[in-house]
Amino acid sequence: MIQSTLVEGVVKAQKGHRDAWGDVYRELSPSVYRLCRRVLPTQEDAEDATMEIFLKAQIRLDQYDPERPFKAWLYRVAANHCWDLLRQRRGKGQTGTGDTEISRLETKDPDPQQVLLDRQSHQQVREALSKLEDRARLAITLRYYAELSYEEIAEALGVNTSFVGVLLLRARHKMRRWLTEEATS
């Protein structure tokens, strides 16, 4: 679904067309789920969060400005929702991110040795990602897994674009340092 078609669907949904909101959901729920899955501890948390995010977005459709990218607006709703869940978890003493899944590109015939190395690398990245503070983890996830631009990330996180660059730079440095320490120990 291209942006103009997406916006048309959202405008129809704002007017109460249920089928239009269903189309928006079918188009964007996989990417919202992937975002949630990389940020939240379990698959069940990500599934629940995805549903809750789309319910929130549907209720708040009147707040969406069709002049702005809908996907960035939706990611802002998703980022805020995930952030709230992480804060609630921290308040309850549940700080780990569990088995946060990082998707892996697969070839047709994967080499068993490469599969093992990939799993080890992904585990290390997963652990480094889980060590980041929540906003930095969200920024990294939005940039490298949702492939949003700095402007879209700024919109989603409610910060200015230059701060996104600083946030990403610091997060990459921390992750690089942690991964280097892991490799040398």
pLDDT tens column, 46-67: 999 999 999 999 999 989 888 8
The pLDDT score that the predictor gives to residue 173 is 93
Residues 6+ apart with CB under 8 A from 4: none
Angle at which helices 43-59 and 70-91 cross, to 10°: 130
Dihedral pair phi/psi, residue 67, rounded to 5°: -75, -15
Residue 122 structure tokens? 């992904």
Identify the structural domains of the chain with CATH numbers, from first to last: 1-96 (1.10.1740.10), 108-185 (1.10.10.10)
Chain-centroid distance, C-alpha 90? 19
CA–CA dist 131, 137 (Å, integer) = 8
Q: Residue 2 has what pLDDT?
A: 65
Residue environment code for 116-139, b if the CB has 16+ CB neighbours within 10 A, otherwise e: eebeeeeebbbebbbebebbbbbb
Contact 75, 156 (CB under 8 A): yes
Quick one: pLDDT at residue 120? 62
With a cut of 50, list the residues of the chain below it in pLDDT.
95-108
pTM over cut 0.75: no
DSSP H stretches of helix in the chain: 3-14, 18-39, 43-59, 70-91, 112-131, 134-144, 150-157, 161-184
Which amino acid, 163? Answer: F
